[in-house]
Chain A
């Protein structure tokens, strides 16, 4: 497929790295321990996980970066591991006391918790979804975004990829850190910073991301952010197996 979509904004959060600007400057802000998530009421935020808070935070950042209305944009939340901290916390509860889990935790334990929280907080009654695909979660989330846009179903989409660390006793099973990245995407070239092709199987170039994020589900998203910031073009790896063609901003394409 030759159709391209436009990247119009980014969001990023990781403990100590609360914004895209901090990340690109390779800076740190040690005061950033939890995402601000200012669109979420504190009552609703309390029972949610770091994963959900990071996801809502980066979606909001990306929407604001792109100038999208929060109550209209379609959202795709990607995560390989999902709400793993609440899942394991509930397993602990099952073996202690009465063996019953917490209702406040349970209702925030589904993979689409962040999607629901964003929808409720933003008053967004449109499309949202939550995706997982193992090592290919970011690539498949981006594929879902590309199909939503090029099918004409949606004009503006936010897509995020986020993971929280695994808790004990399974912490050693995958030692990734907390990180969330979001992209704002559009069929409209207004505000375009780069174009993306349809994700396709193959091997693309890899950007050097900070060592703590190597092998993370969001590594491919960080690579795109770095490449777009550096004005690069070409085939970039989304993961081991999928790539995307990164094209220039429409206003930088030489006229014929």
Chain B
């Protein structure tokens, strides 16, 4: 069944590559990598996609919402405030929804409170820092409430948290709200700040690199965790005479039913998600000019994903994992990489596959060594997660 395409009328981002959209996109084009030291102490070597410079505090009226994820959410939101304000003016605040993804929310805040309490002797009954406010800061909704408050949007608001596919799945949720007339515009996106839980957690799984990651590369050392806030605005239709940034043409959502933290080695669930996205647009795989791979840089993800991409697209299509630039931004990567896919459509270039060469012998994909300047009409972006949760997004250039 082909689906109604919806225009994407704005996007905004901050990540390891930069603090605003233009800086991030320019760094991607130049082939710079936004990988740095972990911004806190951990008992091992690690490189992370850390936001450059300090994160500005929340405005005073939102200060009780303090967390790294909320600060990141607010900084990234500044890059999309203008189109969101225009949408609120156009449709009414109650007709603008907010559907965001995250994997950890404000967990760093409870880490901090717990460390303070434990470090001071683990008093009983527990005395936690006075500035710690669990319900306002830690749970998933907290950063989404910050974004809603900054934007003024009062339509349906919720968080999808399916680990690393979270902010790809939000596109499907938003599209249903538009299809059924429950909203006329939806701000979608994903936010995840760096925290001990994820940096130490991925280290414990033995998949974290102590050097910059090399997605699809020979002897790749594993992944780098990253942080980002990435947003896109979907609307019912573009403003009269306005060309949208891109169109959402398809979403595929599947499960592996295989393992909690490892992909099906044949990439079957991944392939079905990509096929479902193509089917919704009613286009053959050959029409796609760029695949923004999930490409975490781990042995197993990249092996399974490259099989799935090759089986569906062959060996010609350009494939890049932008996680080599930003690290794996977990709950933010779906939206972040949707933006990178749309940049390829809008500006007519595909980023260099930095770090990937020399390629793994088993990887038979066309991963460019340098930026490829060429027009692209369709781009597909993958996001796969713990629990075997897969999502693929298909975008078409704005001048369709």
Query: B161 near A110 (CB under 8 angstroms)?
Result: yes
How many interface residues does A have (CB within 8 Å)? 63
How many interface residues does B have (CB within 8 Å)? 68
Q: Does A255 contact B (CB under 8 A)?
A: no
Q: Does B385 contact A (CB under 8 A)?
A: yes
Query: B135 near A132 (CB under 8 angstroms)?
Result: no
Query: A92 near B118 (CB under 8 angstroms)?
Result: yes
Q: Annotate B199-231 by CB proximity to A: 1 below 8 A, 0 otherwise.
A: 011111110000000000000000000000000
Q: Give complex CA distance A117, B386 in Å.
A: 10
Q: Give complex CA distance A101, B201 in Å.
A: 6
| Chain B residue at smallest Cβ distance from A90 | B197
Q: Annotate B97-126 by CB proximity to A: 1 below 8 A, 0 otherwise.
A: 000000101010011011101110010011
Which one of A123, A133, A174 contacts B134 once the chains associate, using CB atoms below 8 Å?
A174
| Chain B residue at smallest Cβ distance from A120 | B257
Which A residues touch B258, using CB under 8 A? 120
Q: Annotate A106-148 by CB proximity to B: 1 below 8 A, 0 otherwise.
A: 1111111101110110111111111111101100100110011
Contact count A vs B, C-beta below 8 Å? 208
Q: Give complex CA distance A44, B163 in Å.
A: 19
Q: Give complex CA distance A111, B1 in Å.
A: 30
Q: Does B261 contact A (CB under 8 A)?
A: yes
Which A residues touch B141, using CB under 8 A? 80, 132-134, 137
**Which residues of chain A (162-215) have a CB below 8 Å from chain B?**
166, 168-170, 172-174, 198
Query: B176 near A109 (CB under 8 angstroms)?
Result: no
Query: A134 near B139 (CB under 8 angstroms)?
Result: yes
**Which residues of chain B (184-202) have a CB below 8 Å from chain A?**
196-197, 200-202
Q: Give complex CA distance A78, B169 in Å.
A: 15
Question: Given contacts A117-B260, A140-B158, is CB(A169)–CB(B253) below 8 Å?
Answer: no
Query: A94 near B103 (CB under 8 angstroms)?
Result: no
Which A residues touch B163, using CB under 8 A? 110-112
Which A residues touch B122, using CB under 8 A? 169
Binding site for A on B (CB under 8 A): 1, 42-44, 103, 105, 107, 110-111, 113-115, 117-119, 122, 125-126, 128, 134-135, 139-142, 144-145, 156-163, 169, 173, 176-177, 179-182, 196-197, 200-206, 253-261, 269, 272, 385-389
Closest 9 CB pairs of A and B: A116-B387, A169-B126, A134-B141, A111-B161, A173-B134, A132-B140, A106-B201, A147-B176, A140-B158
Binding site for B on A (CB under 8 A): 1, 44, 80-82, 87-88, 90-92, 94-95, 98-103, 106-113, 115-117, 119-120, 122-134, 136-137, 140, 143-144, 147-148, 150-153, 166, 168-170, 172-174, 198
